[in-house]
């Protein structure tokens, strides 16, 4: 599962120096803690990620020296990691952090906010992952998680959720995800008990990802169904959740649900999260094929995805035509891609659909056709080809794939007239579902609106204004009365 999706909106780096940028986030965090405002925390993280590509070891270490009190355990530990990167691969063996001596000279600052400390951890972990020091990132993130567990502050939630994510990511990159499953479960429990909904959501996703990484679909489904989910707090986490859920549902043969989940995930994902959307599209395409639908050509022609989706496009073509030979050829040609995507087993399931699509083509073309011809057209080359064809046709009829009937005694298949779809309820239902979707989106948008607190209070008119208004009204009334008098 080589899926590395970091859904973040890349902000244009406007600030001249990353260090100044980072220092600005400190103020943001402190303000967020003071006001208990989660949004500010999220903004601080976004700002940090904006300068992520431009981070250098020196920048990070000077930020750490600025943000953390000298002599604190966190500072010395984090500086150690950064120093390792600085020294480069050549001198990896140097373990003693050289900044220890220098930091001890500085005066001891007052104790630091746990939020700020967590933020520093997050920065260092991201930096280490970016610099491909994955083992260090692993150690560092484990230390961060251990430290996090000592606090119970709601203001930490946003940062904690991020830390969990990178914790898991660093383990995934080193291919040791199984080691942290227990920790993640414990963290999830803690988050549930503390009503940390963001953490709950993040950790549930990480756990699902963890299970799916090892193909433990059963476990993942059990965990998912046993945990209570509240309304989602983060769009990113919701997307991920839908994606994992879609995968689970696909494996469970519940294609309709799976399709809905996967399409929604693809739709909800921000446009910058290309990798994630490609994965979603791949799975969605297969699920639609499994459902007997043929995805539109435009699905595969989206900008920046065309190349990645090419094997699936070919596959779709094969299924659309209903040609078993072509299907086999495409599957063999792209086997390596499908294995990498872990979709190979689903492709195997598709064979049946290819047959059915072929059958549908036949049923559209012929109002009546003998089963033998069906077998030959479908390239069914077994000994009991006719019987197989009959069973396939009857199954397709039962599933609603084709509208036909089988005459067993005469050995043919009779297609029914295609009715006028506009005489049925179907268009109405389609419209209904679209309208419902629009209304739902609107309602969610309204719900997500935020108003500054006490803004309405400004509108109260002052005493002078009121008096003025009353005076005016009085005059107006008098005026009207006079006019009335004039009329008589």
Residue ranges that bind other proteins, judged by CB under 8 A? 178, 181-182, 185-186, 189-190, 192-193, 214-219, 222-223, 226, 228, 251-253, 342, 345, 349, 457, 460, 462-463, 466-467
In this structure, what is the dihedral angle of CA atoms 14, 20, 23, 25, given to the nearest 10 degrees? 0
In the complex, minimum distance from the CB of residue 466 to other proteins, in angstroms, rounded to a whole number: 6
In the complex, minimum distance from the CB of residue 228 to other proteins, in angstroms, rounded to a whole number: 6
- CA–CA separation, 363 and 392 (whole Å): 13
In the complex, minimum distance from the CB of residue 170 to other proteins, in angstroms, rounded to a whole number: 19
Residue 72 structure tokens: 């604190």
Longest distance between any two alpha carbons in the chain, whole Å? 111
In the complex, minimum distance from the CB of residue 474 to other proteins, in angstroms, rounded to a whole number: 11
**Closer CB to other proteins, residue 142 or residue 190?**
190
Q: Tell me 407's DSSP state.
A: E
Residue 142: alpha-carbon gap to chain centroid: 24
Place of tokens 């679909």: 217
User: Do residues 122 and 45 make contact, with C-beta atoms less than 8 angstroms apart?
Assistant: yes
Could you please report the per-residue DSSP string of 5-26?
A: -----PPP--SS-HHHHHHHHH
Q: Which of 178, 97, 176, 80 is nearest to 136 (CA)?
A: 80
**Closer CB to other proteins, residue 43 or residue 349?**
349
Q: Tell me 69's DSSP state.
A: P
**Closer CB to other proteins, residue 3 or residue 216?**
216
In the complex, minimum distance from the CB of residue 315 to other proteins, in angstroms, rounded to a whole number: 18
On the CB side of 438, CA atoms within 13 Å amount to 5
In the complex, minimum distance from the CB of residue 146 to other proteins, in angstroms, rounded to a whole number: 15
Angle, helix 306-321 to helix 324-333, in steps of 10 degrees: 160
User: Do residues 197 and 230 make contact, with C-beta atoms less than 8 angstroms apart?
Assistant: yes
In the complex, minimum distance from the CB of residue 350 to other proteins, in angstroms, rounded to a whole number: 13
In the complex, minimum distance from the CB of residue 222 to other proteins, in angstroms, rounded to a whole number: 4
- Burial (CB count <10 Å: 0-12, 13-18, 19+), residue 20: exposed
**Closer CB to other proteins, residue 20 or residue 186?**
186
**Closer CB to other proteins, residue 3 or residue 13?**
3
**Closer CB to other proteins, residue 154 or residue 469?**
469
**Closer CB to other proteins, residue 110 or residue 462?**
462
Q: Tell me 429's DSSP state.
A: H
The beta strand positions in 129-245, using DSSP E, are: none
**Closer CB to other proteins, residue 3 or residue 100?**
3
**Closer CB to other proteins, residue 87 or residue 251?**
251
In the complex, minimum distance from the CB of residue 316 to other proteins, in angstroms, rounded to a whole number: 22
In the complex, minimum distance from the CB of residue 37 to other proteins, in angstroms, rounded to a whole number: 19
Q: Which of 122, 148, 142 is nearest to 41 (CA)?
A: 122
First to last CA, the chain: 92
- CA–CA separation, 218 and 231 (whole Å): 24
**Closer CB to other proteins, residue 95 or residue 231?**
231
User: Do residues 404 and 374 make contact, with C-beta atoms less than 8 angstroms apart?
Assistant: no
**Closer CB to other proteins, residue 410 or residue 466?**
466
**Closer CB to other proteins, residue 82 or residue 261?**
261
In the complex, minimum distance from the CB of residue 189 to other proteins, in angstroms, rounded to a whole number: 6
Q: Which of 239, 191, 241, 237 is nearest to 220 (CA)?
A: 241
User: Do residues 276 and 239 make contact, with C-beta atoms less than 8 angstroms apart?
Assistant: yes
In this structure, what is the dihedral angle of CA atoms 331, 332, 338, 340, given to the nearest 10 degrees? 180
Q: Which H or E run includes 370?
A: strand 368-370
Q: Tell me 455's DSSP state.
A: G
In the complex, minimum distance from the CB of residue 181 to other proteins, in angstroms, rounded to a whole number: 7
């Amino acid at each position: 599962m080589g899926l590395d999706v970091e859904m973040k909106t890349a902000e244009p780096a406007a600030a001249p120096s990353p260090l100044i940028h980072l220092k600005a986030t400190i103020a943001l965090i402190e303000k967020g803690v003071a006001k208990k405002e989660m949004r500010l925390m999220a903004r601080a993280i976004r700002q940090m990620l904006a300068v992520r590509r431009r981070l250098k070891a020196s920048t990070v270490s000077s930020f750490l020296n600025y943000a953390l009190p000298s002599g604190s355990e966190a500072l010395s530990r984090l500086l150690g990691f950064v120093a390792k990167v600085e020294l480069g691969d050549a001198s990896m063996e140097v373990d003693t952090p050289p900044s220890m001596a220098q930091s001890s000279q500085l005066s001891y600052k007052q104790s630091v906010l746990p939020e700020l400390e967590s933020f520093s951890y997050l920065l260092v972990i991201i930096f280490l992952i970016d610099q491909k020091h994955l083992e260090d990132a692993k150690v560092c993130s484990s230390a961060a998680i251990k430290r996090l567990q000592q606090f119970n502050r709601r203001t930490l939630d946003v940062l904690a959720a991020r830390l969990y994510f990178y914790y898991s990511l660093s383990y995934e990159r080193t291919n040791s995800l199984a080691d942290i499953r227990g920790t993640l479960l414990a963290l999830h429990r803690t988050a549930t008990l503390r009503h940390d909904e963001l953490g709950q959501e993040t950790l549930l996703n990480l756990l699902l990802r963890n299970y799916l990484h090892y193909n433990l679909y059963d476990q993942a489904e059990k965990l998912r169904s046993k945990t209570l989910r509240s309304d989602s707090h983060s769009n990113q986490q919701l997307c991920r959740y839908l994606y994992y859920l879609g995968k689970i549902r696909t494996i469970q043969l519940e294609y309709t649900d799976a399709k809905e989940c996967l399409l929604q995930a693809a739709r909800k994902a921000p446009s910058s999260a290309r990798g994630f959307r490609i994965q979603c599209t791949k799975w969605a395409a297969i699920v639609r094929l499994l459902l007997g639908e043929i995805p539109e050509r435009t699905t595969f022609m989206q900008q920046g995805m065309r190349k990645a989706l090419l094997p699936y496009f070919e596959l779709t073509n094969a299924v659309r035509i209903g040609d078993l030979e072509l299907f086999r050829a495409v599957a063999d040609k792209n086997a390596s891609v499908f294995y990498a995507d872990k979709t190979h087993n689903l492709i195997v399931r598709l064979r049946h659909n290819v047959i059915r699509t072929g059958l549908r083509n036949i049923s559209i073309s012929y109002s009546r056709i003998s089963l033998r011809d069906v077998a030959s057209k479908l390239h069914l080359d077994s000994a009991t080809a006719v019987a197989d064809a009959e069973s396939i046709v009857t199954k397709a009829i039962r599933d609603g794939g084709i509208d036909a009937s089988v005459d067993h005694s005469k050995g043919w298949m009779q297609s029914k007239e295609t009715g006028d779809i506009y005489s049925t309820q179907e268009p109405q239902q389609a419209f209904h579902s679209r309208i419902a979707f629009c209304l739902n989106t609107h309602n969610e948008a309204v719900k997500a609106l935020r108003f500054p607190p006490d803004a309405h209070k400004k509108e109260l008119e002052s005493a002078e204004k009121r008096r003025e208004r009353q005076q005016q009204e009085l005059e107006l009334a008098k005026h009207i009365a006079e006019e009335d008098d004039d009329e008589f």
